[in-house]
Amino acid sequence: MPLVKQGHIVEDRYIRVLDDAPIPDGVPVIVTAERFLADTAELAAREGPVGVLWPNNRKVAELEPWLGRVALVALTFPKFRDGRAYSQARLLRERYGFRGELRATGEVLRDQFLFLLRAGFDSLEVTKAADAEAFAAAVSTYSVFYQPSTDGRLAVRRRRLPPQAQATGREGEEAGQRHFEPR
């Protein structure tokens, strides 16, 4: 399954560790939420980045105290049309200020890419190779957006105002945070 990160197909450095398997040192690992919450101290002490695979039916608020020690959060889309993780992603980015890698896993198809980026994801485990290759085209489908979001693009209702009013609004402040530049 190709991994698209910052707009490029890259090799996945992370190793997924099943619940009871020993955690290797010195390499980036992704563990399940249960494992992570059970072994928080152990994981914090080890060398190497730690990622957590967070289910879409558990509040991300539970993860908040640990976000400073987590390099990656992987959220899941068990099905294309199960969109709970979009809300989780926005909460992680916008409310809890998570700056690490935010990865979409599960059924991740071309037609979700732009929504995912705008919700705050910056890496995608894409289901189909052809979709991963079409990434650049898929995310440049639109140039106009009606909502403010953390990808830094101004919402239409702000773009319509005179330039000085665009910058002074609350949305202007938030536009400082950029996770991904599509072009």
Partner 1 sequence: MYLYDELDRTLVGERVAEFRGQVARRLSGELNEDEFRPLRLMNGVYLQLHAYMLRISIPYGTLSSAQLRMLAHVARRYDRGYGHFTTRQNIQYHWIKLEELPDAMADLASVGMHGMQTSGNVVRNITTDQWAGVAPDEIEDPRIWAEVIRQHVTLHPEFSFMPRKFKIAVGTSRHDRAALRIHDMALQMHRNGAGETGFEVMVGGGLGRTAFIAKTIKPFLHKRDVLSYVEAVLRTYNQFGRRDNIYKARIKILVHELGAEAFAKEVEAEWQSIKDGPLALDEEVVADIASRFRYPAYARLQNSPAELAEAPGGDRRFEAWIGNSVAKHKVPGYAIVTLSLKPEGGTPGDVTAGQMDAIADVADRYSFGEIRVGHEQNLALPHVAQRDLPAVWRALNAIGVAIPNVNLITDIIACPGLDYCSLANARSIPIAQEITRRFRNLDLARDLGRLHVNISGCINACGHHHVGHIGILGVEKNGEEFYQITLGGKADENATLGTLIGPAVPYAQVADLVEDIAAAYIELRERPDELFIDTVKRTGVEPFRERVYAAR
Applying CB under 8 A, which residues contact partner 1?
A: 59, 80-84, 86-88, 90, 94-95, 109, 111, 114-116, 118-119, 130, 141-149, 155-161, 165, 169-171, 174
Distance CA 63, CA 91 (A): 11
Least distance in Å: CB of 143 to partner 1?
Answer: 6
Least distance in Å: CB of 53 to partner 1?
Answer: 18
Cβ closest to partner 1, residue 14 vs residue 113: 113
Encode 31-42: b = buried (16+ Cβ within 10 Å), e = exposed.
bbbebbeeeeee
| 157: region left, alpha or beta (phi > 0 left; psi from -120 to 50 alpha) | alpha
Cβ closest to partner 1, residue 31 vs residue 154: 154
Least distance in Å: CB of 2 to partner 1?
Answer: 17
Cβ closest to partner 1, residue 35 vs residue 153: 153
| Closest listed residue to residue 154, CA positions, set 183, 125, 118, 126 | 118
Distance CA 169, CA 55 (A): 35
Cβ closest to partner 1, residue 50 vs residue 60: 60
**Distance from CA of residue 122 to its chain's centroid?**
5
Least distance in Å: CB of 6 to partner 1?
Answer: 18
